[in-house]
């Protein structure tokens, strides 16, 4: 698997990105969020959940269990890096990547400090939601009513700390002026707060 790992010298933690269907580690939206997190002193890993050959099979793109396993493998790799030793790890998931992040975080041997979902489909994590222990922020666009409802339904199954944040006027891809900036700021604050709680 290919990825881009950036860990500032004084990193508070590392955020592993899980992109959605049809996207990759080169997603400009995720790269923008990663840049904001990096400037705030957070490490980031953007990587491809599937190989090019695997992506050609659409079934793999929506195989949440497979994506979650790749995410866990990448998390273990990050924890094995000297620069990340002992740092808390969080997940930032978009679309189906949010379901993979929640699925992976529900595993009993995978301690995750915080999760942020952007326009995500947490409902696709299904019965795994109740086992998630990480504080979870669900960011949705105000003009994305179907996804808002799906997030509200998924939140009812989360037993960990959770919050839904609606970005007014934003559609599913947060392409409107200021929308992605709002996502990045909410994510930065959520990760910074919960990484600090783990470290103290």
Residue 45: phi, psi to the nearest 5?
-130, 115
Contact 125, 93 (CB under 8 A): no
Contact 114, 37 (CB under 8 A): no
Which of 138, 89, 94, 84 lies closest to 112 in space, CA to CA? 89
DSSP state letter for 2: -
Measured N-to-C along each axis, helices 64-79 and 96-105 cross at an angle, to the nearest 10 degrees, of 60
In this model, does residue 141 exceed pLDDT 60? yes
Percent helix, percent strand, percent coil in the chain, to nearest 5: 45, 20, 35
Contact 62, 96 (CB under 8 A): yes
* % the chain with pLDDT above 90: 78
Q: What is the pLDDT of residues 2-33, one digit of tens each?
A: 678 999 998 999 999 998 665 556 678 889 99
Q: What is the pLDDT of residues 73-130, one digit of tens each?
A: 999 999 999 999 999 999 999 989 999 999 999 999 999 999 999 999 999 999 999 9
Least confident of 6-10, 66-70, 149-153, 195-199: 195-199
Tokens, residue 72: 């866990």
pLDDT of residue 23: 54
Q: Where does the pLDDT of residue 194 fall: very low under 50, low under 70, confident under 90, or very high at 90 and above?
A: very high
Q: Which residues of 78-102 are buried (b: 16+ CB within 10 A; e: fewer)?
A: beeeeebeebbbbbbbbbbbbbbbb
């Amino acid at each position: 698997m290919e990825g881009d790992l950036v860990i500032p010298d004084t990193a508070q933690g590392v955020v592993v990105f899980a992109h959605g269907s049809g996207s990759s580690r080169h997603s400009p939206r995720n790269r923008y969020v990663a840049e904001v997190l990096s400037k705030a002193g957070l490490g980031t890993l953007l990587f491809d959940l599937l190989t090019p050959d695997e992506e050609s099979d659409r079934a793999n793109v929506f195989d949440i269990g497979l994506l979650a396993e790749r995410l866990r493998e990448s998390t273990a790799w990050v924890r094995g890096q000297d620069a990340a030793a002992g740092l808390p790890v969080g997940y930032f998931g978009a679309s189906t990547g949010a379901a993979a992040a929640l699925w992976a975080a529900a595993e009993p041997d995978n301690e995750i400090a915080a999760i942020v979902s952007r326009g995500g489909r947490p409902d696709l994590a299904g019965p795994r939601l109740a086992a998630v222990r990480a504080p979870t922020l669900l960011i949705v666009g105000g003009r994305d009513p179907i996804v808002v409802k799906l997030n509200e339904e998924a939140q009812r199954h989360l037993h960990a700390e959770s919050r839904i944040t609606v970005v007014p006027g934003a559609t599913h891809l947060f392409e409107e002026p200021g929308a992605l900036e709002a996502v990045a700021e909410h994510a930065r604050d959520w990760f910074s707060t919960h990484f600090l709680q783990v470290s103290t």
